[in-house]
Amino acid sequence: MSRALRVGIGAAVALAALALPHALTVPYFLHLTILACIWTVLAQGQNLVQGFSGYVSIAAGGFMAIGAYASALLSVKGGWPVWTSMALAPFVAAALALVVGYPSLRVKGHYFAIVTLAYNLVIVTVLNNYESFTGGEAGMPNIQRPAALVLGGLQLSFAGREGYYYLVLLAAAAATAGGALVLHSRVGRVLIAIRQNEMVVDALGVAAWRYKLFAFVASGFLAGLAGALYAHFIGFLNPEPFGTDQSMNAILAVTLGGSGTLLGPIVGAFLVVTLPEYLRVADTYRLVVYGLLLVLATIFMPRGIVPMVSRGFRGMATRLAAALRPRPDPTP
Amino acid sequence: MLTVRELRAGYGNVDVLHGISFDVRPAECVALVGANGAGKSTALRCVCGLVRARAGSIEFEGARIDHVPGHRIVRRGITMCPEGRQVFADMSVLENLRMGGHMRRDRDQRRDLEALFDMFPALRPRARQRAGTLSGGEQEMLAIARALMSRPKLCIFDEPSLGLAPKIVDEVERTLARIKANGTTVLLVEQNASMALRLADRAYVLEAGNIVLEGSGQELQTHPEVSKAYLGY
């Protein structure tokens, strides 16, 4: 694709994203779009570990819970301004990721996945049972939206869905930009090398564990941000949405969309949020159909939707270019 | 330059090396030869810090390195070119080479890249190509070039002839000879004993985790037991 075309498409998508709240007449669709943006943040984080370095972590839901509860507790029980608590929450999740990532990144492959799965279970168990602090399963109500901002005489309110949509859109864009920054840096190159052959990376004099730890902590940070955005959007927290199901959703979003690509997690996040909703037509068979679709997608698009579509486009562009090329005149 | 004394190492309950000693002197090419499972690769991995020694010592330029982590060892000037090439298949040739020089902070990398493309002219037109699409011989050349990107004082080659066509093996041999001629110290591990002994100034023969013979490359080439067991005549 030419550069001009890319910029054009990017600008069109950005405009469409900005205009979306005015186009969507059903509030429920906007609600889903907000969730999808939050899940994009989560998926971009998951992509750093799973997509780039090839380590599958099953702890995204747990770190999301840490961010959600950190922000909710700081603002509701601590009385801090919501903006401050939301800004701090990702750092709390990242700090925990640092502490648990340091020992667990020594194990590889499936073992790493199982260790992280255990963290997720521990986090949910603690949240369920530390009732005096978290409210246990009964949950924490009355989590406020962030206060309105006044920027140059313009009042930005986040109390409504429209305002909050722009906040999560910004977060999703920032998470994607962060992923792009990492991908095109020296760090990204090492992470991708780790995915292909970690032993050689070590043999080349690169301390692979530092880069893995960076990816893991960064993914914890983004999961924490996603959690904070979720908590203040829904307004009520209990541990239920942060179980391993949620971590699986993050993995699915990355795998379905396109592991290791930048657009993949976005596409994947929208799919895992909206697909189960659209499948409500299938009624009680909803989850069965969902599962079937996932199996089919994995069989027919093992590398994800984005790589497949972009390859399709490239093929079309080549054929188009060949068709448009002036042919040599056959007549002498 | 490299002094290994009474090195013992293994995996799990199994001891692979039962106390081996060998030396590599500056600008020398030393070969470790031996059959499958003799412990050649384990010895190399100990030197590179990828496997911990259970007993004994490894010294490089006068300092103990047997408890130094692998990435630090590369910084001291030892680089390994791993068995079976192991290029980063999904990365381009250029990216593979850049990974080789990853821990370097100096500004000469571009010049080194040019020099390596001159040394391996087949790689230059393929700089942007995915390394996985190269032929086996080209991948071996890339792996060698990648190892050289870190400007090693001691470059270790683990079975560079493995799985390559005879014609390509000759090319690998010529390349290693050139690397040695450029002043890089080489430690070579090979099952292809005839090639290793032709290249080596000195060689050690490993059998079941012990060094059973040592001598100059020429001496060993004509040694009756070696020629019978490893050279096939």
Q: Please name the residue that has the structure tokens 């005149």.
A: A329
Q: What is the Cα Rg of chain B in Å?
A: 17
CATH, residue B36: 3.40.50.300
C-alpha distance from A238 to closest chain B C-alpha (Å): 43
* B86 closest CB neighbour out of A190, A197, A207: A197
Let me know if residue B87 belongs to a domain. Answer: no
Condensed to tens digits (0 to 9), the pLDDT of residues B33-84 reads: 888 788 888 898 899 888 888 999 999 998 999 888 888 888 888 998 888 8
Taking CB atoms and an 8 Å limit, are A203 and B70 in contact across chains?
yes
Condensed to tens digits (0 to 9), the pLDDT of residues B157-208 reads: 998 888 888 888 898 999 999 999 988 999 998 888 888 888 899 999 888 8
Q: How far apart are CA A141 and CA A89, in angstroms?
A: 18
**Could you tell me if B50 lies within 8 Å of chain A, comparing CB atoms?**
yes
* B91 closest CB neighbour out of A192, A203, A208: A192
Show the tokens assigned to B148.
């050289």
Show residues of chain A in contact with B152, CB under 8 Å.
none
Chain Cα centroid distance, residue A317: 30
Let me know if residue B175 belongs to a domain. Answer: yes
CA angle A104, A109, A112 (to 5 degrees): 25
Amino acid identity at A87? A
Q: B92 forms bridges with which residues in the sheet?
A: B130
Region for residue B106 given its phi and psi (left: phi exceeds 0; alpha: psi -120 to 50; beta: otherwise)? beta
Show the tokens assigned to A304.
């994800």
**Could you tell me if B52 lies within 8 Å of chain A, comparing CB atoms?**
no
Let me know if residue B96 belongs to a domain. Answer: no
pTM for this prediction: 0.84
Let me know if residue B142 belongs to a domain. Answer: no
Show residues of chain A in contact with B90, CB under 8 Å.
192, 196
Q: B60 forms bridges with which residues in the sheet?
A: B2, B63
Helix (H, G, I), strand (E, B) or coil at B64: strand
Show the tokens assigned to B40.
């050649």
Q: Which residues, other chains included, contact A268 with Cβ-Cβ below 8 Å and sequence gap of 6+?
A: A43, A252, A253, A254, A255, A256, A257, A258, A304, A305
Condensed to tens digits (0 to 9), the pLDDT of residues B98-125 reads: 888 887 777 788 888 888 898 888 899 9
Residue ranges making up the domain that contains B6 = 2-81+148-231
Let me know if residue B201 belongs to a domain. Answer: yes
CA atoms within 13 A on the CB side of B201: 14
C-alpha distance from B189 to closest chain A C-alpha (Å): 16
Interface confidence (ipTM) of the complex: 0.75
Taking CB atoms and an 8 Å limit, are B102 and A200 in contact across chains?
no
C-alpha distance from A215 to closest chain B C-alpha (Å): 18
Show the tokens assigned to A161.
């869905």
Percent of chain B with pLDDT over 70: 98
| Nearest partner of B29 among B232, B208, B211, B195, judged by Cα | B195
Condensed to tens digits (0 to 9), the pLDDT of residues A259-292 reads: 889 999 999 999 989 888 888 777 778 778 878 8
Amino acid identity at B209? G
Let me know if residue B107 belongs to a domain. Answer: no
Total domain count, chain B: 1
**Would you list the domain boundaries of chain A?**
26-242
| Nearest partner of A40 among A224, A274, A253, judged by Cα | A253
User: Which residue of chain A comes nearest to B104, CA vs CA?
Assistant: A205
Q: Which of A225-234, A236-245, B13-22, B180-189 has the highest mean pLDDT?
A: A225-234
Q: Please name the residue that has the structure tokens 């994947």.
A: A268
* B90 closest CB neighbour out of A196, A201, A206: A196
Taking CB atoms and an 8 Å limit, are B102 and A197 in contact across chains?
no
Segment holding A38, helix H or strand E: helix A27-46
Let me know if residue B131 belongs to a domain. Answer: no
